[in-house]
């Protein structure tokens, strides 16, 4: 209990300083412009993202199938790695997380390290994607992209880097087409869904995935976001916005915060049939590590992954806990397999200051030693 009147003045002063922060924050909000936030007012954007956010690294579309695009990034170093790397991001959020802003961009850092980068943009799912299966995405578009790059560079195999769900897709791809993958780098990639360290894994076992897909068709991105928010319900929906008042005082931090918020809520809907497969076969059946997962009639045997593998995971990841990703090395056939860990969370892997200076150089060094 507070005692009257000793803490009264102190508390009111706290409020006053809080209001002072808010005042400054409002002034900062008033002075926000496209340059600082990346949200152009005139909607003259690159057309990549729903919220008109400009990405920080230059790229061009080199291959396209409907709304799905393959980008190639403009080189930023003199000496370029002879084997290009294809990056496959998850479908649950946008790849822009990898290229959020100049000082928080894994892509930019890799380009600076001399990597030749390609990236798959899945686009925004709509009704036409309702019946797209994992086979369509993995055996279809990923394979088409890999072939395109191989042909362009006249190479037998290229490097493959997968992130989160994109990492799972890449793992399946690498097991089906090992001859086309020179080096494989999964980052925060779930492969074993039995771990109880993630609430998602616990919850996923107790609901009917068929009902979900039959009810919604494509599952709304907002619904997926709600599930992620519920992993830390009070931190992500209360504390974050209280702390924001402190952030608002600083125009740069405010712009960073807004960019991150825009990314978080820029969630495409999930294609129904793909999500059905992902939930039933992987989250509920955990068939990938059991060797029981089939794609297009072919058994996905992780032992077929014989190329060098660098498995990177985040120590404090609540979405893909280390237990869900670490086991990959136990199931693959590679003799040259390493793991790398960072003391960060799922998203922190790509945007935290801790990883900005080390993640890309480490990946680059590992690749360069194997091409």
Which of the residues 232 through 271 are near other proteins (CB under 8 A)? 232-235, 237-239, 241-243, 245-246, 258, 261-262, 264-266
Which of the residues 188 through 207 are near other proteins (CB under 8 A)? 196, 199, 202-203, 205-207
- Binding residue for other proteins, selected from 157, 227, 251, 329, defined by CB under 8 A: 227
5: left (phi over 0), alpha (psi -120 to 50) or beta: alpha
Which of the residues 110 through 169 are near other proteins (CB under 8 A)? 127-128, 130-132, 136, 140
- Binding residue for other proteins, selected from 44, 208, 330, 336, defined by CB under 8 A: 208
Task: State the nearest-atom distance from the C-beta of 330 to other proteins, in Å.
Answer: 25
> Interacting stretch for other proteins, rule CB under 8 A, among 104-112, 165-173, 208-216, 361-369?
208-216
Distance CA 88, CA 47 (A): 19
Task: Check residue 317 for interaction with other proteins (CB under 8 A).
Answer: no
Task: State the nearest-atom distance from the C-beta of 15 to other proteins, in Å.
Answer: 6
Task: State the nearest-atom distance from the C-beta of 86 to other proteins, in Å.
Answer: 19
CB 193, CB 201: distance < 8 Å: yes
Distance CA 364, CA 313 (A): 16
Of 116 and 136, CB closest to other proteins: 136
Distance CA 59, CA 70 (A): 10
Distance CA 349, CA 326 (A): 16
Of 56 and 244, CB closest to other proteins: 244
Distance CA 354, CA 286 (A): 32
49 is catalytic: no
Site residue total, other proteins (CB under 8 A)? 76
CB 328, CB 200: distance < 8 Å: no
Task: Check residue 323 for interaction with other proteins (CB under 8 A).
Answer: no
Of 111 and 149, CB closest to other proteins: 149
CA distance from start to end of the chain:
66
Distance CA 250, CA 32 (A): 11
Cα 220 to its chain centre, rounded Å, is 18
User: What are the catalytic residues?
Assistant: 164
């Amino acid at each position: 209990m507070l005692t009257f009147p000793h803490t009264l003045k102190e508390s009111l002063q706290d409020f006053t300083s809080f209001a002072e922060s808010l005042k400054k924050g409002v002034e900062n909000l008033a002075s926000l412009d496209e340059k600082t936030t990346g949200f152009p007012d005139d909607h003259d954007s690159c057309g990549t993202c729903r919220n008109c956010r400009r990405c920080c690294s230059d790229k061009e579309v080199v291959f396209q199938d409907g709304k799905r695009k393959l980008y190639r990034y403009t080189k930023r170093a003199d000496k370029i790695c002879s084997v290009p790397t294809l990056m496959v991001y998850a479908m649950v959020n946008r790849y822009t997380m990898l290229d959020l802003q100049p000082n928080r961009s894994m892509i930019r850092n890799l380009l600076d390290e001399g990597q030749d980068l390609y990236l798959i943009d899945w686009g925004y799912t709509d009704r036409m994607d309702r019946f797209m299966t994992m086979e369509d995405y993995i055996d279809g578009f990923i394979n088409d992209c890999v072939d395109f790059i191989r042909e362009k560079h006249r190479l037998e195999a290229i490097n493959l880097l997968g992130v989160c769900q994109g990492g799972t897709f890449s793992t399946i791809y690498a097991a089906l087409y090992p001859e086309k993958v020179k080096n494989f780098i999964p980052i925060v990639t779930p492969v074993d869904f039995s771990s109880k360290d993630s609430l998602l894994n616990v919850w996923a076992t107790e609901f009917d995935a068929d009902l979900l897909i039959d009810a919604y068709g494509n599952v709304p991105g907002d619904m997926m976001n709600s599930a992620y928010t519920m992993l830390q319900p009070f931190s992500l929906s209360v504390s974050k916005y209280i702390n924001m008042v402190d952030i608002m005082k600083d125009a740069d931090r405010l712009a960073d915060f807004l960019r991150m918020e825009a990314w978080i809520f820029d969630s495409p809907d999930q294609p129904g049939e793909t999500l059905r497969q992902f939930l039933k076969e992987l989250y509920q059946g955990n068939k990938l590590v059991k060797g029981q997962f089939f794609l297009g009639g072919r058994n996905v045997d992780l032992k077929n992954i014989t190329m060098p593998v660098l498995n990177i995971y985040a120590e404090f990841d609540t979405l893909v806990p280390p237990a869900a990703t670490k086991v990959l090395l136990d199931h693959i056939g590679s003799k040259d397999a390493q793991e790398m860990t960072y003391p960060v969370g799922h998203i922190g892997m790509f945007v935290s200051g801790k990883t900005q200076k080390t993640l890309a150089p480490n990946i680059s060094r590992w690749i360069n030693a194997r091409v």
